[in-house]
Amino acid sequence: MSFPDIRSFRAEIARERRAGALILSSKSSGNAGLYRPANRDELARYLSRREREAKAELYTLKATRKALRQLDGQTEIEGQG
């Protein structure tokens, strides 16, 4: 299967994942890419890594949301004066 561009390729991977396909990804240098897990250990390592990444992203989103609320509050105070 070939794709005209990277966007089409990524869209197809997303569709397959939503349909339940186990398509994992690796970012490690020299071994980056997509793959299907060969065994339980690969799947467990991938899950652990993605959970850590998701938690880190959640902390970033919470801090961003808090900063936005603070800026919105400052704008309202500045606008009233």
Is the confidence at residue 81, as pLDDT, over 50?
Answer: no
Q: How many CB atoms lie within 10 A of CB 13?
A: 15
What does the pLDDT read at residue 78?
Answer: 52
The domain segmentation of the chain, as residue ranges, is 1-36, 47-81
pLDDT score of 27: 85
22-56: per-residue pLDDT in tens?
999 988 878 889 999 999 999 999 999 999 999 99
Quick one: pLDDT band at residue 80, thresholds 50, 70, 90?
low
pTM to 2 decimal places:
0.69
3-state secondary structure 8-67: HHHHHHHHHHHCCCCCEEECCCCCCEEECCCCHHHHHHHHHHHHHHHHHHHHHHHHHHHH
